[in-house]
Every structure is written in C-alpha cells, then in structure tokens.
C-alpha cells in the first residue's frame, strides 16, 4: 500500500525517502528489548503511525525525523504498549548520545558542536539549574535573582567575545550577520552587539530584513488558513541581495516597510547609505541562507549564530528541547506583535521547525561564532504566563488526526513544565535582558 508521505527531513536538514519499514523495524527492536517477538504487530503499529502522519501532513507533506518519532511514541502508548514505548524512548535517547559522542566537528543534533553543548550543561550544573528540581530549590530559597544575574553575565560575555572576534577581522569584513532560529533573541543580541561595537569606536548601520517580506497573501496557505511565512522565500531575497551589494558599493538604497499586523509591504520607504567607515549590521532568521547574500563575497561577511542551547531536565530525566523553549517565547511575542493567540502559534510551529531543519541548520557549519541565548531562569517566568494554554490544547487536539503535531508538542511542553514552580514576579529581570524582548518591559525599542 503506497503512502502519500514520500520524504522526511533528517536532523541535519537533508531530505531522504520515507520508508515505513524503518519505523516497523525501530518498533520491533524496542519490543524485542522488553521480550516481544511479534513483527506483524510492529508493522501494524508502523502503519498506524503512517496514517497519523498522512492525516497531519497530507499529500506531499514532509515531516521531520523527530516528528515521526514523537508520533511513534504516542501510538505505542495509545495502543497499550507502554513497555515498548519506554524501550523506544530509551533507544532514541541512546542513539542521540551516540551521535553526540562521535568525533565529528558537528554533532547531528541541529549541527551544534558537542563541546558547546557540554559547556552549557557544565555551566548549568555549576549553578544548580540543570534540573526542574534544582530550579525549584533556587526559587524556594529566594536565590532566583542571583541566578538571573549570573545568566545575564554569561550571555553578555559571549556576545562581547563574538563582537571582539568580528573587530579582529576588520577592515576586511563589512557585514555582521546575527542569525538563528525563531525567537532565539536575534534582535536583542543585535542591539547588544551594536553596543559593543560602539564602545570600541566602530560605527554601524542596521538593515532590518523583516521589511523585505512579501505581502502575506502571496505566501502559501494550508487547509486551516495558516500562512507559511517561515520559508526564506517568504522574503524578497533578490531585493535583499541587491540592496546589500549596493550598500557595500557605496550606493544609496530605499528599503521597503512591512506591517506585520496588516501583512502588507510598501516599497522604497527608508533611504539608507553605508559610509566607508561603517559596518553593516543585519539580524535575520535566514542570515545563513546563501541566496540572501550571493552577490557578496564570503570574506566580507561575519556570521554569529544564536540558539537556546538549554540543558534543563524534568523529573523523568528528559531535557527540554531548544525549539520548545523558543516556542514559549514566541507564543508571547506573537500575541503582542502579530495578533495571534498562543494556540495559533502552537499550531503554526510545525512550519517553523520544518523551515529550520531545511533552511538554517544545514548551514551552521559556516558560522564564525556561536552564542547560547537560553536562560534557565526564564522557564518558571514563562510558565506563569503560558502554562494554562497547554491542557486545553492537548484536549482539543488529542483526537484530531490533522493536529497531532500540535498535540504531541503541547503534551511535551506540559510534561516538561508541570512540576516547575511558576514565578509571577519578573522584577529581578533587568530591563536590558533578552527575555524582555518577549515578556515586555525592555528599555530597548523593538
């Protein structure tokens, strides 16, 4: 029986052929680990997984490996194979650790160097915030302000080091890119980089890539009426490329203006010119994507990549996913800036993650510096604002075959945060904190 799912996206962003037999084999291995021996049952369960994938993604849909694995876990539990599900989860975790321990420059998990991930984990362990239990103890003892200060200091030092590496490459380099996935705090990082450059006497000109979106109505829509504006091709890449090249050539340009609330753009609005002694500063979701700057030589570009490299485990020992951390941030920001309810951000998130896997992660190997924007203290603060949305989302989407991605994601976030002590008072968070980009109250203008 032929499936409408033809391809899947691997963790390194490449697309490969879909094969249901691989799912059946993985389930069978997990079952065998707990004494099972029924291959036919494994194949039946694999077919159920496939049906859920077809319902969620439709004809021509391309789910990611992690999305497939999430649905496998759900099917195993729902079909009464709890022991097999636990074995499958353990097998999945062991495979992840094996990838992390390989001697390649970049590990398979989102192409982030394993050394960097280990440094983050060690920092969290040194500060007692690598687990939900540890965070709860910090909150109960009144030491959250101290953790906030330590997190802010670490982040500031990383940004400063990135800016210094860029300065060392002047005057050859003319464009400083701050790139990273959605809600990784590119905007605040760009502001802080500009402060570091100014402190060193360097002049800069910021180019706002968000103004280069095509009109929202030009983006593809799914059956729910949701627009896919996460793809780099939602941006006018040719115009961006031309404008960057013109600026570096000393020409005057007029950039567009895009209104996120109306979904409309207006051309030739803001006049800009790059002075000979200035640096062009750009923050963009797709700053690593080649078509955006194909007319600019690589030796003219410096790329700083930012990601929420969180290393916080729940009571079951499972680490919170970086993308889930960013989902929480974006649920708040979208409600402020895009007139979207948190549930809408949740159901849109599969577009976000799929675009990251295809259009961002494959190019991380080209970056010049990496910054971790995860703040362990933000989780109890975000929980206080957002946790109430997850139980109704789980209930709403649990039996909706076309919304299983949202259900799995909502349940995963719920399980991560359910035992964490929420914190309503955000007054200890500095007005210049990157978290203020999402929860409000910043002295910076976004």
Identify the three-state secondary structure at position 349.
helix
Asked whether the beta carbons of 361 and 109 are under 8 A apart, the reply is no
Give me the percent of the chain exceeding a pLDDT of 70: 95
| Bond from prior residue into 336 cis (ω within 30 degrees of 0) | no
Residue 96 in this model has a pLDDT that exceeds 90: no
Q: Is the pLDDT of residue 102 over 60?
A: no
Cβ(406)–Cβ(222) below 8 Å:
no
Assign 107 a pLDDT band (cuts: 50, 70, 90).
very low
CA distance 79 to 100: 32
Q: What gap in Å lies between CA 148 and CA 144, rounded to an integer?
A: 6
Give the global pTM: 0.77
Write the DSSP symbol of residue 294: T
- Strand duo 175-179 + 278-284: pairing: parallel
Distance, in Å, from the CA atom of 275 to the CA atom of 272, rounded to the nearest integer, reads 10
CA gap 437, 446 in Å, rounded: 7
Q: Would you place residue 61 in the very low, low, confident or very high pLDDT band (cuts 50, 70, 90)?
A: confident
Among 110-114, 130-134, 270-274, where is mean pLDDT lowest? 110-114
Residue 261 φ then ψ, to 5°: -80, -30
Question: 401: pLDDT confidence band, cut at 50, 70 and 90?
Answer: confident
Is 319's pLDDT higher than 50? yes
């Amino acid at each position: 029986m032929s499936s409408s799912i033809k391809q899947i996206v691997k963790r390194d962003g490449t697309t490969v052929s879909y094969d249901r037999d691989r799912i059946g084999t993985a389930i069978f291995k997990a079952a065998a680990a707990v004494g099972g021996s029924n291959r036919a049952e494994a194949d039946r369960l694999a077919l159920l997984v496939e049906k859920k994938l077809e319902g969620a993604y439709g004809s021509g849909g391309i789910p990611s490996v992690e999305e497939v694995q999430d649905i496998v876990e759900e099917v195993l539990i729902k079909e009464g194979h709890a022991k097999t599900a636990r074995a499958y989860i353990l097998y999945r975790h062991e495979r992840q650790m094996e990838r992390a321990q390989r001697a390649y420059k970049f590990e398979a998990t989102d192409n982030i160097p394993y050394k960097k991930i280990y440094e983050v984990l060690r920092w969290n362990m040194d500060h007692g915030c690598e687990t939900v239990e540890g965070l709860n103890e910090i909150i109960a003892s009144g030491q959250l302000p101290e953790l906030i200060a330590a997190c802010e200091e670490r982040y500031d030092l990383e940004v400063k080091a990135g800016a210094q590496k860029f300065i060392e490459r002047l005057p050859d380099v003319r464009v400083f890119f701050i790139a990273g996935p959605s809600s990784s705090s590119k905007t605040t990082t760009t502001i802080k980089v500009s402060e570091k450059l100014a402190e060193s006497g360097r002049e800069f000109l910021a180019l706002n890539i968000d103004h280069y979106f095509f009109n929202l109505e030009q983006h593809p829509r799914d059956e729910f009426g949701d627009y896919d504006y996460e793809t780099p091709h939602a941006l006018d890449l040719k115009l961006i490329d031309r404008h960057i090249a013109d600026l570096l050539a000393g020409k005057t340009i007029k950039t567009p203006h895009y209104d996120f609330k109306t979904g409309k753009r207006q051309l030739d609005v803001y006049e800009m010119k790059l002075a000979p002694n200035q640096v062009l500063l750009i923050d963009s979701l797709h700053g690593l994507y080649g078509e955006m700057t194909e007319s600019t030589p690589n030796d003219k570009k410096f790329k700083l990549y930012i990601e929420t490299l969180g290393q916080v485990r729940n009571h079951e020992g499972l680490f919170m996913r970086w993308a889930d951390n960013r989902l929480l941030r974006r649920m708040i920001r979208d409600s402020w800036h895009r007139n979207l309810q948190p549930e809408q951000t949740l159901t849109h998130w599969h577009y976000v993650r799929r675009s990251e896997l295809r259009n961002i992660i494959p190019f991380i190997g080209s970056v010049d510096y990496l910054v971790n924007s995860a703040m362990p203290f933000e989780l109890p603060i975000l929980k206080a604002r957002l946790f109430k949305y997850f139980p109704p989302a789980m209930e709403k989407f649990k039996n909706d075959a076309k919304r299983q991605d949202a259900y799995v994601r909502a349940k995963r976030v719920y399980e991560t945060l359910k035992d964490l002590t929420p914190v309503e008072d955000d007054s200890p968070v500095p007005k210049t904190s990157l978290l203020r980009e999402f929860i409000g109250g910043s002295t910076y203008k976004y």
